[in-house]
């Protein structure tokens, strides 16, 4: 998507969606997350073991596949993901996918760059507010992609929702008192507020 100075198009400009098309995804993503412990064995809370999780971020499959997994997760899976945190490499890959500079994407969840790099390299988990901020971005990305996927406009083909969202969360929003959505993503309520803003864009109520 172009990085021209002009205000980027929003998914709402891409045409109408089927009624209720992305309401389900917003209901499922009504809080932050990233992994589900289904066996209760191995790994420990600070490390990542593929056998320990049902919903797993796999770098080889990419961010978009993980977004789809989280979007289809059950409420109980979301709860477990929130408790456990996200693998460090997810944050680095979100940086690339959303075209957000690495220093900035580490600052959003409030994690020092050295710590983030260490956890990403060692397959360690990022929990607490930092993990919630990362999964919050995953949730918002799922909503943005759902809006585009259900658009009937010709412009929707090839529209990169991830890049657009990377710009959108960094723009001050009047409805947030001039705050950026990115600054609210470290809490479940902040993610919910961001999801509602995206919903207002979709419905045409957002200005």
**What are 131-149's pLDDT values in tens digits?**
889 999 999 999 999 988 8
Query: What one-character DSSP code corresponds to residue 7?
Result: P
19 or 127: which leads in pLDDT:
127
pLDDT > 80? residue 27: no
Please report which confidence band the pLDDT of residue 10 belongs to, taking 50, 70 and 90 as the band edges: low
Backbone φ, ψ for residue 172 (5° rounding):
-60, 135
Range 55-84 average pLDDT: 89
In sequence order, the 6+-apart residues with CB closer than 8 A to the CB of 25 are 71, 142, 143, 146
In sequence order, the 6+-apart residues with CB closer than 8 A to the CB of 48 are 35, 87, 123, 124, 125
Please give the structure tokens belonging to residue 102: 């690495």
Please report which confidence band the pLDDT of residue 207 belongs to, taking 50, 70 and 90 as the band edges: very low
Rounding to the nearest 10 degrees, give the CA dihedral for residues 79, 44, 90, 66.
-50
Cα–Cα dist 139/86, whole Å: 13
Q: Classify 173 as helix, strand or coil.
A: coil
Cα–Cα dist 163/152, whole Å: 20
Please report which confidence band the pLDDT of residue 48 belongs to, taking 50, 70 and 90 as the band edges: very low
| pLDDT score for 33 | 37
Place of tokens 């420990």: 44
**What are 91-130's pLDDT values in tens digits?**
999 999 999 999 999 999 889 989 999 999 999 999 988 9
175 or 45: which leads in pLDDT:
175
The pLDDT mean for the chain works out to 79
Give the global pTM: 0.74
**What are 156-206's pLDDT values in tens digits?**
888 999 999 999 999 999 999 999 999 999 888 999 999 999 988 776 544
Helices (H), the chain: 23-28, 63-71, 75-84, 88-97, 102-107, 113-122, 128-149, 161-168, 188-203
Least confident of 13-22, 98-107, 148-157: 13-22
Angstrom CA distances, 174 to 10, 26, 177, stand at 16, 22, 5
Range 76-85 average pLDDT: 84
| pLDDT score for 76 | 85
Cα–Cα dist 104/161, whole Å: 19
For the chain, give every domain's residue range: 21-201
Which helix H or strand E contains 29, and what residues bound it?
none
Q: Are 52 and 91 in contact (CB under 8 A)?
A: no
| pLDDT score for 154 | 83
68 or 154: which leads in pLDDT:
68
Q: State the CB neighbour count (10 A cutoff) for residue 109.
A: 23
Please give the structure tokens belonging to residue 90: 């997810």
């Amino acid at each position: 998507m172009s990085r021209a100075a002009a205000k980027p198009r929003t998914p709402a400009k891409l045409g109408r969606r089927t009624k209720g098309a992305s309401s389900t995804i917003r209901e499922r993503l009504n809080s932050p997350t990233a992994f589900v412990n289904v066996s209760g064995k191995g790994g420990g809370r600070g490390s990542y073991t593929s056998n320990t999780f049902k919903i797993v971020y796999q770098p080889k499959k990419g961010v978009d596949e993980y977004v789809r997994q989280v979007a289809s997760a059950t409420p109980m899976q979301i709860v477990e993901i929130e408790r456990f945190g996200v693998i460090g490499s997810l944050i680095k890959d979100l940086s690339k996918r959303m075209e957000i500079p690495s220093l900035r994407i580490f600052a959003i969840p409030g994690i020092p760059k050295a710590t983030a790099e260490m956890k990403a390299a060692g397959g360690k988990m990022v929990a607490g507010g930092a993990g919630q901020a990362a999964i919050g971005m995953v949730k918002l990305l799922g909503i943005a992609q759902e809006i585009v996927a259900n658009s009937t406009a010709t412009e929707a083909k090839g529209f990169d929702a991830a890049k657009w969202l990377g710009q959108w969360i960094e723009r001050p929003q009047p409805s947030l008192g001039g705050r950026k959505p990115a600054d609210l993503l470290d809490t479940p309520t902040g993610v919910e507020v961001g999801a509602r803003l995206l919903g207002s864009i979709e419905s045409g109520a957002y200005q």
